[in-house]
Structure 1
């Protein structure tokens, strides 16, 4: 079902949110009458950060205007006449708005479609009859929205109380002025004759007593109103702190964590629209309460009444300032991270965003953001508020950018599109630490005014370089599985058996029980500094080699499940010995980085009636650049069944290279074919086939075939 049809069925707050997406920047009538066309365009195919994509956006803008004009021309009748005028007006309006900035139209429509899809999805989840339960995400969103509604009611209540207090205080001041006037009249009686004074004084004294009595009572009432209002503000601020903690310390930190994992191959971190809407509601509510507290302080100064209210208001003002400072600081985030590995003289990009910039009117005076590269030590000192601001560990070109406000989406962000690391200043390395282990970070900082207070905001969402000395094996499994799927670009990840194999390799263990590794930890040295026992490479170097080989040459076979891969030589032998002759499997080499070998079961030519498992020397990327794995398996006629019992042609035939065409001009094209020699001299000490000699010949032939004829035979001309 079209998104627009579902969006029209939204109710309550969801409907209000959907309606608020539209306005002069993009009328809802355009969305309605062009819904099918709008949802049929590839808006996501346009990179908003790439100015070169502007011509695509311009083409979409022109098409949108043409569609509107066509729709207008087809309107007939009395109602159609009005609609024709309206649609024609919208076409002119959109052209005027976006003709010079077509990427903004794409940004606007992407934001609209994303938000509509989210609202429809949430509404669908909430009304799902499955057990009458909403998913946990919807429940969490509902709790947050309920808290915002409670905050809205509390803020409205204190606003009403504040107005009542102001009204009562104004009336109190009028009566106080009346008491001063009566006192002045009493004082002036001294100038009158005694008879006149005695005649008028009793009435004035009575009136003064009445007014002063009322003023005393009303002063106590005003003091009570002030204390009650302060207590209500305390309650509101407590709920605000709680809500802000949920949004900033839970939801926003989770988004940042997803962003980190996405850099390691995890799923995309998701958009910031929901988080921004929450942060904007927080900012709006905080600002309203801050203004109320300041108005209450103004009323106190206007009419000082002895009591604890002055201290209470100072405390409230300090608390609300802390809350808004935390909000602004935490919502200054890196939306698009720079690369994890930076090279000098190489262009890179990043985007920073202030989630509350629109609500706090920061965009009215667009701030500038500066990017600086600093070391690990400098970053830690900065978090301790030590003065390292003017220090840097290198020079970045194009490191200043003005934040831009996109009215259609309400986002305030700075897009660094052409940064480049000109130079880097390294410190003395510690012990065995390599150059790549020295850590740096890019600090984005800006300065802007909020409420008349000059504040400097820095990216402090999490403590940088919080890298543990060791991690639990299950945590490492999650990370390398995520990395493997991302690098190989496969939905088939590492199985529990694969992870057990990796644990055996990492910890030099023989246990096949996954539970034996659950509480084991791995240090950075074990992971990528110390060589594996009996090898000259580390665990990570071996695993990275497997990923590279699979990504470049084995991806389809891995996806098909044709490669067991993570099996050692002894396991392969145990598995194959129970199968018919000619059964084979593919496993990654234990002894070579980025190698894969074929193991198969066959007769032992030296002992009649005895079978044994044979192993080919590992293939590497160099070998597969000459002939593919599928063709090599096809060449070897003694390989019959892929473990456990699948005919090899059933698995690999779709990847075989098609037969060569017939001879042209009397020439027959040569062909490379792999063979396994039968001579015992070709076996190594472990009974493995060493194909180095035969592969050297193949490589030489391949090189000859690639040379031009003149270079091959030019030296033989006479």
Structure 2
């Protein structure tokens, strides 16, 4: 995390100390608006005790003032006008203060940055200090190495520029002297027309002069050849460092950013850092182009004055190398800034953004390129990366799939925003074995053509999106999401599209589930070890409570995602679904009552019974249902009405998110007067009363408003009315006598429309709810009982 972001979070005395660092000598506004630039400079590389370092400090001062002026120029609007004036004033103020003593500016900024880092470390607890300090030190060291390499490249490029100018000057003087030798030779030739006496008088001087000039030319030709070779060797060194720096930025930093972007699809932290990457890529582009122009000028000088030697071959090699480097930079920095949705439903609008990280540095925007988006299959993606001819075939039709890249002057970004794309149709491949459509992966191919440096170079560029799964019905969403989650979590860099391991260790899967869980419920508090043990018991049909028993266990993709049809047929009257379906719906349920921390959640039925039997009657807890996807059930301990003196644990039929949209969880708990104590021993109202819906007014316009309340018939006990002292009942007038509550309920809602695959055929694997299809096929409803039946 950037130092300035952390510094703004300081409080109390630490905040006052931080604020005291600033004043007229260095305004805090400058620190705020140039925070990223200030923290990326090599302040420590300047020796304050060495007066010879003053030119470096002066260069930093000039850069600082230029950054402030640029920031001021880009302010717009009423507030921007005032800020523009203020930043311009600060630029003039800093120039007048430090122009004669730039080393003092470096001293001031080094002191500010060091003090901020110290205050941040002191304000953090010991464990966080060590972790954050190591991270900050690592990031700082990495950035410092990259910036040092850029500084070295700048100096090398400046050095070769000076040598090139010197070579050009010497060559121009050589040509002048060569012309002089030609003039002398012409004079010697003209002597033949003179009388012998005149010829003998003038010829020796001309011969001597010619010999002197030719000797100088021979010596200078060797010198020029040496200059050319030395310059070529320096360019080779520069290009080696350029390749190394480009590898660090493109193969390390950019790949890491893309990995963070992929994990963000699973709920990981936002990728961030793209602006820093662009600044590095732009520096690379500038340096590469400067060296390319130098090499071309050196080649022009060689053609202007050919001198026998190996320089021609060296220059050809340098030109080929620099072209490869710039080609790799342009093609690799064409990236997808905003990925299309990875679960893509047909006939639904979606968006994406592509961006060129070299921005406007290579004048690509002077001829605005057009980007085209196409959906291709996994096999086509493999062929594309192998440079095989795919004949530009697509696997579907995307509407509004062309967009022109625009250059944004204020941000320096060159990007194309696809805002209204829609997948009209999809063409699926033949499925392998039992693979369903929700396991078939596609990708969006973005391609364009860039002209670099006034059409000197033309590049065909392509980039692939993260894998997408195409669905045609909302019931396919869970299984498609599972495919995406598995791919995002376990994909390796540089893989063949879109290979992922078929099985992973349980702790790896727990990490992926935990990341998704925290993102879905929007909480930093993830699943506890007890929660993960509960999930392991469910995943592996185990009863062990020891976390170590699961650490070396593996889960296959099939175990995670699929339902066994044979097992379903054997247990037709039970609710059967995959582990993925069960775990994926829970976060959505939790959203509806995330403010209530009373849900134990991952507790099975037997554990709930063991916990409640040692507590007084009326003690209850809330847990996730084993039998209803995304369901929450209430378990409570009470007397068995059929056996006097016997106590038992009851489980209420699970609630779903649809139930909570009708009446909230807190109000439902309030309705049930037989629920007295939230496990272990807290009074119900103490926990839930602040979430109860306020009572309705007695009458509006002469009408009495009705109320919806829930009732469990066997537990609809009478309670005294506080006002009248007469008994009232939760079921509004019903007798407290036993009521037959064995009503049949269909566990699954009837389908509103058929589920079709991409070819319009009914596909059993296309839906997440296989049980529903089997019910319809056998015309045999699955029955359950509402209310107090023990389940």
Deviates more, 1:271-280 or 1:528-537: 528-537
- Counterpart residue number, 1:546: none
Q: Deviations over 1:193-232 (max 9, x none)?
A: 4444444443333333333332232222222222221221
Deviates more, 1:16-25 or 1:282-291: 16-25
Cα drift, residue 582 of structure 1: 3.6
Cα drift, residue 5 of structure 1: 15
8 Å CA contact 1:362, 1:449 repeated in 2: yes
8 Å CA contact 2:586, 2:630 repeated in 1: no
8 Å CA contact 1:283, 1:324 repeated in 2: yes
Taking a change above 3 Å as real, the CA distance of residues 372 and 490 of structure 1, as seen in their structure-2 partners, is: same
Deviates more, 1:176-185 or 1:31-40: 31-40
Cα drift, residue 410 of structure 1: 1.6
CA RMSD for the aligned pairs?
A: 13.8
* C-alpha separation in 2, matches of 1:275 and 1:386: 31
* C-alpha separation in 1, matches of 2:312 and 2:756: 93
- Counterpart residue number, 2:100: 100
* C-alpha separation in 2, matches of 1:308 and 1:428: 58
8 Å CA contact 1:147, 1:243 repeated in 2: yes
* C-alpha separation in 2, matches of 1:406 and 1:520: 52
SS at structure 2 position matched to 1:349: strand
* C-alpha separation in 2, matches of 1:506 and 1:365: 56
Taking a change above 3 Å as real, the CA distance of residues 83 and 420 of structure 1, as seen in their structure-2 partners, is: closer
Cα drift, residue 143 of structure 1: 2.4
SS at structure 1 position matched to 2:495: coil
Taking a change above 3 Å as real, the CA distance of residues 320 and 415 of structure 1, as seen in their structure-2 partners, is: same
Q: Deviations over 1:454-510 (max 9, x none)?
A: 767566598653444333433322322222233333343322221222222223333
8 Å CA contact 2:589, 2:657 repeated in 1: no
SS at structure 1 position matched to 2:662: coil
Taking a change above 3 Å as real, the CA distance of residues 557 and 182 of structure 1, as seen in their structure-2 partners, is: same
Deviates more, 1:404-413 or 1:200-209: 200-209
Taking a change above 3 Å as real, the CA distance of residues 97 and 714 of structure 1, as seen in their structure-2 partners, is: farther
8 Å CA contact 1:108, 1:408 repeated in 2: no
* C-alpha separation in 2, matches of 1:662 and 1:386: 76
Q: How does 1:104-253 map to 2 (within 5 A)?
A: 134-253=136-255
**Which of 518, 539, 552 is equivalent to 2:587?**
552
- Counterpart residue number, 2:72: 72
Cα drift, residue 358 of structure 1: 0.6
8 Å CA contact 1:369, 1:401 repeated in 2: yes
Taking a change above 3 Å as real, the CA distance of residues 472 and 531 of structure 1, as seen in their structure-2 partners, is: farther
Taking a change above 3 Å as real, the CA distance of residues 214 and 435 of structure 1, as seen in their structure-2 partners, is: same
Deviates more, 1:622-631 or 1:564-573: 622-631
8 Å CA contact 1:349, 1:417 repeated in 2: yes
8 Å CA contact 2:153, 2:287 repeated in 1: yes
Taking a change above 3 Å as real, the CA distance of residues 643 and 467 of structure 1, as seen in their structure-2 partners, is: same
* C-alpha separation in 1, matches of 2:126 and 2:789: 83
Q: Deviations over 1:645-696 (max 9, x none)?
A: 3322222122223334436788765555444499999999999999999999
Taking a change above 3 Å as real, the CA distance of residues 611 and 136 of structure 1, as seen in their structure-2 partners, is: farther
| 2:752 corresponds to 1:679 | yes
8 Å CA contact 2:653, 2:786 repeated in 1: no
**Aligned residues, how many?**
709
- Counterpart residue number, 2:572: 532
Unaligned runs of 5+ in 1: 543-548
Taking a change above 3 Å as real, the CA distance of residues 246 and 661 of structure 1, as seen in their structure-2 partners, is: same
* C-alpha separation in 2, matches of 1:153 and 1:12: 45
Cα drift, residue 376 of structure 1: 1.6
Taking a change above 3 Å as real, the CA distance of residues 38 and 650 of structure 1, as seen in their structure-2 partners, is: farther
Cα drift, residue 151 of structure 1: 1.2
Cα drift, residue 160 of structure 1: 0.6
8 Å CA contact 2:652, 2:789 repeated in 1: no
8 Å CA contact 2:42, 2:148 repeated in 1: no
* C-alpha separation in 2, matches of 1:660 and 1:50: 80
SS at structure 1 position matched to 2:593: helix
- Counterpart residue number, 2:53: 53
Q: Deviations over 1:533-557 (max 9, x none)?
A: 9862111111xxxxxx977985478
Deviates more, 1:282-291 or 1:589-598: 589-598
Unaligned runs of 5+ in 2: 463-493, 563-569, 713-749
Taking a change above 3 Å as real, the CA distance of residues 111 and 586 of structure 1, as seen in their structure-2 partners, is: farther
TM-score (norm 1): 0.71
* C-alpha separation in 2, matches of 1:639 and 1:666: 35
Taking a change above 3 Å as real, the CA distance of residues 331 and 680 of structure 1, as seen in their structure-2 partners, is: closer
8 Å CA contact 2:373, 2:447 repeated in 1: yes
Q: Deviations over 1:346-403 (max 9, x none)?
A: 2222222212131111111111111122222112211111222531122222222222
* C-alpha separation in 1, matches of 2:578 and 2:541: 13
Cα drift, residue 155 of structure 1: 0.8
8 Å CA contact 1:49, 1:415 repeated in 2: no
* C-alpha separation in 2, matches of 1:55 and 1:106: 12
8 Å CA contact 2:406, 2:416 repeated in 1: yes
SS at structure 2 position matched to 1:654: helix
SS at structure 1 position matched to 2:768: helix
**Which of 452, 456, 460 is equivalent to 2:454?**
452
Cα drift, residue 421 of structure 1: 2.0
SS at structure 1 position matched to 2:82: helix
Taking a change above 3 Å as real, the CA distance of residues 14 and 88 of structure 1, as seen in their structure-2 partners, is: same
